[in-house]
Structure 1
Amino acid sequence: MEETSSPLEAVLSPSIADVSVLSLDVSREAIRIDVCSTAAGAACPDCGSESTRVHSSYQRFPADVPNGGRLMILRLRVRRFFCPESSCARRPFAEQLPELTRRHSRWTERLLSTLAAVGLALAGRAGARLARAFGMPISRSAVLRLLDALPEPEVPVPRVVDVDEYATRKGRIYGTVLVDVETRRPVDLLPDRMAQHRRGC
């Protein structure tokens, strides 16, 4: 966000382009921040045309990470613009602030990343308990949905692979596991231990 007169505003509002803090109110229970975009216009999400013609505005209240034991109440003023392209099916559209929040989301990007980190460390039930203890109420299923929406991490191609067996029913049903020798992480599981699978590795 832009530089503000209060050091507290700078701490609560990380540097985000074209966003300004209008007001800040701190009480014992909560911190209330009014925020708006300072951009001259916005791009239509369908055709990409830039528009500066404001149609209307409305307010969003995305949840944010608590600060110092206080609730963070963010009031975001969002403008709707007319699309200048006559052939575009989306006439009015809402501006987006991708570094602050995302479309249709009830949470800020900062809260989303925090909850996702808690979920990666503790999974659903334990992650939800810890999040609630820190003032970020969320259900176990919501934590799991956040994790499911995360992009798959890029895994380097293993240079050296080891082949071993694993048992789904000990002494009766076996499969083959491929392991990256350098990282000691499983690469793939094969449903059986047939020789042709191993020769193809």
Structure 2
Amino acid sequence: MIDTVVRVEARTPAGRAACPGCKCWSRRIHGSYLRFPRDLPTAGKFVVVSLRVRRFVCEEESCERMTFAEQVPGLTRRFGRRTERLRSMLVSVGLALAGRAGARMTDAFKVPVSRNTLLRLTASLPDPVTAVPRVVGVDEYAQRKGRVYGTVLVDVETRPPGRPPSRSGGGHARGLARRAARHRDRLP
């Protein structure tokens, strides 16, 4: 086990940190503790990061926070258990493969995570485009037993880039079909 692990011990050289609440700088150290964020494997070996994090006292009296922990930009985030490198790799796998296929791929990378973790990471991404897809037309339309069926043509250019296609069983498409059926006289 000793020869299959790379241990990285790190600490920040900065003598001060900014409070996330009031953005004021502080030099008063309250204490420190160790964090162990997971990182990408290197040369087939697991990487263990032992990061010494300091806790600072906020010097602004009007600030609601009394103490705060420093964050290392590009390495950690608040309450994060993975490094930013590992997180971005998992997000890329999640966007490309999603669910079970993505979980199998992360096993091959020696960073096993569940399919739900991959889906949660991709769902936490901000939407790059807030536009709703524009309905171009209805190709086929039918109504049986109170249900509306149809093939809806949408402007695919307005779909947010980088998002995997919906595999929710067509709930969004059904809503578009209903909306298109209501306005079918206005469609080109």
Corresponding position: 1:139 with 2:114: yes
Higher RCO (CA 8 Å, separation ≥ 6 residues): 2
Cα gap change, 1:44 to 1:200, in 2 (>3 Å): farther
Verify the 8 A CA contact 1:165 1:193 in the aligned structure 2. Answer: no
Alignment of 1:22-61 (within 5 A): 28-61=3-36
Which residue number corresponds to residue 162 of structure 1? 136
Aligned length: 173
Unaligned runs of 5+ in 1: 1-26
Instruction: Tell me the TM-score normalised to structure 1 length.
Output: 0.73
Output the CA distance in 2 between the equivalents of 1:97 and 1:198: 58
Root mean square deviation, CA, Å: 3.2
TM superposition shift of 1:157: 8.6
Which residue number corresponds to residue 103 of structure 1? 78
TM superposition shift of 1:98: 2.9
Cα gap change, 1:169 to 1:66, in 2 (>3 Å): farther
TM superposition shift of 1:175: 4.2
**Deviation by residue 1:147-199 (Cα, 9 ceiling, x = unmatched):** 111111327798x9731235687897334634227x49699824254363662
SS in 1 for 2:98: helix
**Deviation by residue 1:89-115 (Cα, 9 ceiling, x = unmatched):** 211110111311111111000000101
Unaligned runs of 5+ in 2: 160-164, 166-171
SS in 2 for 1:28: helix
**Which structure has greater strand proportion?**
1
**Which structure has greater helix proportion?**
2
Output the CA distance in 2 between the equivalents of 1:146 and 1:169: 38
